[in-house]
Structure 1
Amino acid sequence: MEVDIITTPKGFHCKLCNIDMPNKPSLDEHVKGRKHKTLTDVRATRQAQEERSVFVSGFQKDASQTQLTEYFQRFGDVENVIFDKDKGVYAIVQFSEIEGQQTALSQLVHEINGQRLRVKPREKKGFKLINKKKTDFQNLQEVLERLKPVLVQAETVNEQMHCVVERIQLTENKKNARALLVQLIQEVFTEFFPDSQIMAFGSSVNTFGIHSCDLDLFLDLENTKTFQARAKSSTEPVAEASSDDGRSEDSILSDIDLSTASPADLLELVAAILKKCVPGVHKVQVVASARLPVVKFHYHQLDLQGDISINNRLAVRNTRYLQLCSGLDARLRPLVYTIRYWARQKQLAGNVGGAGPLLNNYALTLLVIFFLQNSDPPVLPTVDQLKAMACEEEECVIEGWDCTFPSQPIAVPPSKNEQDLCVLLAAFFSFYATFDFAGSVISLREGRALPVTSFIGQTREETTQEEEEEEAMEEEQPRQPHNQALKLGPLNLLDPFELSHNVAGNLSERSQLNFQRECQEAEKYCRSLQYLRKSTKGKPWGLVRLFTPHGEGPKHKNQDGSADKDMSISIPFRLALLPEGLRAQLQQAGDDFRPLWFQRVCVAVVQVFQNVLKCGPGSLTEPTPAGDPGHADAAPGSCVSMDATSEELNTSNDSGVAGQDSPRSTAAAAVGTKRPLSSESSDASTSPQGKKARLGRGPKPGAPCWTWSQTHAVWAGRRKVRRELVKETVDSRPEGSSTALETQVTEHILEKQPRVKVPLVFRVQAKLVGATQSTKVLLQIHPPSEGKDHFRDFFHFLEVFLPKMVDTLMETTM
């Protein structure tokens, strides 16, 4: 048992992660998990740093980090110097090895420029995890409280949106201060890399910056590489070579060849220059694991986080694109600032440390631009339309990607859309409240949503050997990276230019669902009078109520606290879990991939109920209310019992279409075929000839419905039975990941446990939801009139179990 784990009356508690576990298996999973291992490694690293560090004070206020580094270097290699003048004149000197610390402490007297220093061991502090999520939430509440009085007093929502911009945008003073820092870094790096250029990009300069945004810098070394090559090819000695402005080549260029140096080596060199030669810069760290490796740093005087990259020319072009969009329509900036602030308040954005499962500001900005491209009439043109408006001199290709657009907004005709800001804000929420994220890839270049199936199989490995040889021969031309794999996820948002990059690829499924749910809530609010009308009593209205965080949405229950009468379970579209054969079929289907996928889900649902949970055919004898799938006015053949459809749905041919040869196949009906005209499954007394079925009183044609009967409590004690069976087998996979194991669990329950007093007879109706909202199969569960308490427990079990089993069946057997 680890020292971090303590036993509690309710199980176990991890002091390091501040997490409770109910039992030993949960504890074992937690200890093996990434969070616990990461925090353990961080704690060990910090403890090792404390062992190798000394606390230094007593030096003069004008002493620099360089002076301290040079002095303590005599005792051992100095890894870092943490300089702090705010809480008193002191510094933490960190050695690479513990011997350096011990040697420094063994010397009794230390002096720099005649000033005697006080050197002692660094104080050891216990490692404590800070709940950043709670801290961030408290900070957001404080910011909103300061902003609330101003927003309440505004006269219109438009005015409120402009107030948000004024309060949180990057001020001119801070812009000027950042420009001076960029100039300072430019001067330092010019000494080491002649003719190099430091360019700012991102929020600091794209017109959407806020006062706390990072400073993103790009170090362009192309001119330096040219200078170095010219110096080496010159007949004169290298030491006498000079650039156009008279600067001689620094010795650092004699030690490293920029044309062959690896990015990792260059970043280490950049980090060393920042750490030792730029005043006020500390906490320098190379982040080589990022998609685009960077050197992170902190500038003490401005309390500013920054980073420098060397292979990010596309990001500079993206910044120019956002600057152009901002100049094309004045409504873009207030919309972006308001939606970014809303997303932060709802905890949809704001990844800690730049990494996490939430939306980043760049992705949010692109979502706003895409919405404006699809407004009626459009507010902003597509990237392809901008390309057509550019002149020949403005053509731009970076790393094989076409990044052409006009350099000035005057070249683009103004939009004919004259909607107010408040109307556009409400329309933004409405647009994404029903957007099909699962089945679409958002393209700002074309200004439309592309079917996700068209991106299946677009990997680098698909290029032929002749194509690779042809690319290798074109040394002067940049490699065309159009065949790189696009990382598909819950939300697919293409970069405007680098079309193999999903800007929202970091987003988790939960984050995407939260974003869409919050858009739905915001859409409802924007239809209320509280959104448009200012309160005469000074109460929160407009953006104030929109920004106010709220807890989890209300659970859908009846007044007696029971589950809803019309319960539902969603089976989302997860492209990554589908087998290769089905993915290929969906790709061939193109925009019509949803019906085919719906068929396969229906097949899997039947298999779960019939084969895994051992449900039998049901027969409802109780009266059925109007609107129920079993109502007499339902369309003939659209609602059938299990025994009429299970075999057909389980029959799949080589093409993968279940039961396509059977006229009574429910799966075939799901594709949208017309209901049969024969009276084979219809009743003349309930559906007179020539009379159409009423809309809304039964399932539509193509909406399969099954009646099932469950005679045993297959949900009760299921985990215990599974653990017992796993001990006897080598199958240790989690719940829902093994069809054979789950079937065995059900059979064990049927054999050992008695039947329920009243068999649970219920209906399941499937329908496809897509095209205008997130692609998914919605299973409407209609409970029986008897045994509701048992069925409520059964439904809660199905909510978790059924989607997992469908995913497993889709992945392994389809």
Structure 2
Amino acid sequence: MATRGVGLLTRLPLCAQRSRVLHPIHRLLTCPGTVATDVRREEQSFGSAETGSEDRTLKRFSEVQKERREQAQRTVLIHCPNKISEKKFLKYLSQHGPISNHFFYESIIDDQLNILLKEFQLTEENTRLRYLTCSLIEDVAAAYFPDCAVRPFGSSVNGFGKLGCDLDMFLDLDEIGKSDAHKTSGNFLMEFQVKNVASERIATQKILSVIGECLDHFGPGCVGVQKILNARCPLVRFSHQASGFQCDLTTNNRIALKSSELLYIYGAVDPRVRALVFTIRCWARAHSLTSSIPGAWITNFSLTMMVIFFLQRRSPPILPTLDYLKTLADAEDKCIIEGHNCTFICDLNRIKPSENAETLELLLKEFFEFFGNFSFNKNSINIRQGKEQNKPESSPLHIQNPFETSLNISKNVSQSQLQKFVDLARESAWILEQEDKDHPSSNQLWGLATLLLPSVAKSMSHTKKKKKPASERIKNLLESIRSSSTENSKNTVGKRTVSTQA
């Protein structure tokens, strides 16, 4: 699956370079992959005008182009076998001329996953804009609840946010009255009171109803305000025009804030976690396994839990269990919310790094194989203990909420959607396995690109019967093609055929 190449910067005279270099080795320009150069300072001197150094010499555009062309003529790109000794390979190449500089590069799936992460993750500017939007909504809410705080949670802060994701906000009223229970002005006493209500849920609904009305009529840039107060978690949904965010405002939802912190820790302790989660989410969206519309689909949060659980099951584990993080906690980390134990270590520096050195490429393939053969019919996914447990209910997919352990975060997923996920996971594992055996040509899609093709999902969605393994289906297809070719050859005897070859 991996394609390796080496770029060599040689200081051969221009008159000799064609005869001494290009005769024994070819200048291959069709190898797939990204070339990462490691050119020495003298090779980059002509580009110093773009580095921002104070003592640079500004060069004309034509001069830069000329030197770049000459540099390219002194450079050869060589396609070499996957597992080869770099030292021996360089020694062999030095027979054809002195090598002043070189670099190796690998076009492997690890690079693709990391590029995907880099392209789609929230930028620093986007993150700051999200906090600013929360601050603006906080100004509105403070008119009714002085000293309140509006905090972002979910994808905006847990490290797994994608550009364009919704902004989830939490109206935190717990700080009201803690700093100054009574505010005085001269000889007068000012006290803020809330009327008694029948339940905390009713109080939440009343608070959000008032804030929703205020945002609708007076919130700068707040449009399309919807008060969804009868949901399991009441919320106010609106669009913030200035920032372009779709916003969901809730209150009395501190467990969600704690869940965001837990995911942030899991994404920060090992760099492979976020890249793998982003890839699995992108793969799921490409095959319509997830959707922005609520329904029977798997959610991004469920997929993230599945990735974490899978990484806990590696040997050695890449991620610790939630119970283990709880054992590392200090007294200051203790957190009980609505009777649920949400305690875990908050200091990332006290979490020992994993000794597992598996590549992202291997982990991606193993993820598909793991869940392609997982016993969803009887087992539950539990990141608190990091092991399968018997399902406490009959839902097709059961993923235990890490804090509210009696809840199934994937209860909405239907049997047909789960089966679609399993079929696609098996198909993707098979595709990656075949690429290990047969490396694709330079003009052929490979690696992550093959997994994101929607054709696989479409063909599977139109098949009602249980599908055969991919290898068996392809074998039957080839046999069908052969038989058709034989039949066609019998029917075309005496006809002239013309073939072209590029």
TM-score bin, normalised by smaller chain: 0.5 to 0.7
Do structure 1's residue 316 and structure 2's residue 261 form an aligned pair?
Answer: no
Asked if 2 retains the 8 angstrom alpha-carbon contact of 1:292 and 1:309, the reply is: yes
Do structure 1's residue 184 and structure 2's residue 136 form an aligned pair?
Answer: yes
- What amino acid is the match of 2:317? P
CA distance in structure 2 between the partners assigned to 1:165 and 1:288 by the alignment: 35
Do structure 1's residue 197 and structure 2's residue 103 form an aligned pair?
Answer: no
Q: Which residue of 1 aligns with 2:459?
A: 552
Q: 5 Å matches for 1:464-543?
A: 488-529=394-435, 533=439, 535-543=440-448
Query: C-alpha displacement at 1:259, in angstroms?
Result: 9.0
Q: Which residue of 1 aligns with 2:379?
A: 440
Query: C-alpha displacement at 1:221, in angstroms?
Result: 1.2
Q: Residue 191 and residue 257 in structure 1: after superposition, are their counterparts in 2 closer, same or farther (change >3 A)?
A: farther
- What amino acid is the match of 2:134? V
Q: Residues 272-322 of structure 1: CA distance to partner in whole angstroms, max 9, x if unpaired? A: 122233210111111123221111010112221011111210000000001
Q: Which residue of 1 aligns with 2:266?
A: 325
CA distance in structure 2 between the partners assigned to 1:446 and 1:557 by the alignment: 34
Do structure 1's residue 170 and structure 2's residue 150 form an aligned pair?
Answer: no
Q: Residue 531 and residue 169 in structure 1: after superposition, are their counterparts in 2 closer, same or farther (change >3 A)?
A: farther
Asked if 2 retains the 8 angstrom alpha-carbon contact of 1:363 and 1:504, the reply is: yes
SS at match of 1:331: helix
Q: 5 Å matches for 1:205-224?
A: 205-224=157-176
Do structure 1's residue 273 and structure 2's residue 180 form an aligned pair?
Answer: no
Asked if 1 retains the 8 angstrom alpha-carbon contact of 2:216 and 2:222, the reply is: yes
CA distance in structure 2 between the partners assigned to 1:557 and 1:520 by the alignment: 11
Scaled by the length of structure 2, what TM-score is found?
A: 0.67
Structure number with greater CO (CA < 8 Å, separation at least 6) is 2
- What amino acid is the match of 1:172? E
Q: 5 Å matches for 1:217-296?
A: 217-224=169-176, 240-241=189-190, 262-296=203-237
CA distance in structure 2 between the partners assigned to 1:318 and 1:254 by the alignment: 29
Q: Which residue of 2 aligns with 1:414?
A: 353
Q: Residues 355-396 of structure 1: CA distance to partner in whole angstroms, max 9, x if unpaired? A: 111111111111100000001111001111110111222111
Counterpart of 2:340 (choices 398, 401, 406) is 401
Query: C-alpha displacement at 1:506, in angstroms?
Result: 0.9
- What amino acid is the match of 2:108? T
Q: Residues 209-243 of structure 1: CA distance to partner in whole angstroms, max 9, x if unpaired? A: 111110001101123366897579x9976xx517x
Q: Which residue of 2 aligns with 1:477?
A: none
- What amino acid is the match of 2:111? E
Q: Residue 224 and residue 545 in structure 1: after superposition, are their counterparts in 2 closer, same or farther (change >3 A)?
A: same
SS at match of 2:381: strand
Asked if 1 retains the 8 angstrom alpha-carbon contact of 2:323 and 2:384, the reply is: yes
Identity of aligned residues (%): 34
- What amino acid is the match of 2:164? S
CA distance in structure 2 between the partners assigned to 1:298 and 1:498 by the alignment: 30
Do structure 1's residue 451 and structure 2's residue 357 form an aligned pair?
Answer: no
Scaled by the length of structure 1, what TM-score is found?
A: 0.42
Query: C-alpha displacement at 1:541, in angstroms?
Result: 0.4
SS at match of 1:198: strand
Q: Residue 373 and residue 532 in structure 1: after superposition, are their counterparts in 2 closer, same or farther (change >3 A)?
A: farther
Query: C-alpha displacement at 1:400, in angstroms?
Result: 1.1
Asked if 2 retains the 8 angstrom alpha-carbon contact of 1:489 and 1:505, the reply is: yes
SS at match of 1:448: coil
- What amino acid is the match of 1:545? T
Asked if 2 retains the 8 angstrom alpha-carbon contact of 1:531 and 1:543, the reply is: no
Q: Residues 543-582 of structure 1: CA distance to partner in whole angstroms, max 9, x if unpaired? A: 0001101222376899xxxxxxxxxxxxxxxxxxxxxxxx
CA distance in structure 2 between the partners assigned to 1:236 and 1:497 by the alignment: 47
- What amino acid is the match of 1:512? L
Q: 5 Å matches for 1:132-151?
A: none
User: How many residues of Structure 1 are paired with residues of Structure 2 in the alignment?
Assistant: 360
- What amino acid is the match of 2:442? K
SS at match of 1:446: coil
Asked if 2 retains the 8 angstrom alpha-carbon contact of 1:157 and 1:532, the reply is: no
CA distance in structure 2 between the partners assigned to 1:220 and 1:186 by the alignment: 10
Do structure 1's residue 380 and structure 2's residue 319 form an aligned pair?
Answer: yes
CA distance in structure 2 between the partners assigned to 1:443 and 1:152 by the alignment: 40
CA distance in structure 1 between the partners assigned to 2:166 and 2:438 by the alignment: 35
CA distance in structure 2 between the partners assigned to 1:306 and 1:195 by the alignment: 21
Q: Residue 258 and residue 280 in structure 1: after superposition, are their counterparts in 2 closer, same or farther (change >3 A)?
A: farther
SS at match of 2:303: helix
CA distance in structure 2 between the partners assigned to 1:448 and 1:193 by the alignment: 44
Q: Residue 393 and residue 557 in structure 1: after superposition, are their counterparts in 2 closer, same or farther (change >3 A)?
A: closer
- What amino acid is the match of 2:402? P
Asked if 1 retains the 8 angstrom alpha-carbon contact of 2:340 and 2:404, the reply is: yes
Asked if 2 retains the 8 angstrom alpha-carbon contact of 1:325 and 1:380, the reply is: yes
Q: 5 Å matches for 1:39-58?
A: none
CA distance in structure 1 between the partners assigned to 2:134 and 2:314 by the alignment: 38
Q: Which residue of 2 aligns with 1:137?
A: none
Query: C-alpha displacement at 1:538, in angstroms?
Result: 2.7
Counterpart of 2:244 (choices 271, 278, 303) is 303
Asked if 1 retains the 8 angstrom alpha-carbon contact of 2:130 and 2:152, the reply is: no
CA distance in structure 2 between the partners assigned to 1:556 and 1:446 by the alignment: 33
Query: C-alpha displacement at 1:351, in angstroms?
Result: 3.5
Asked if 2 retains the 8 angstrom alpha-carbon contact of 1:231 and 1:241, the reply is: yes
In the alignment, structure 1 segments of 5+ residues that lack a partner are 1-150, 243-248, 457-487, 559-814
Root mean square deviation of aligned Cα: 2.8
- What amino acid is the match of 2:406? S
Asked if 1 retains the 8 angstrom alpha-carbon contact of 2:229 and 2:235, the reply is: yes
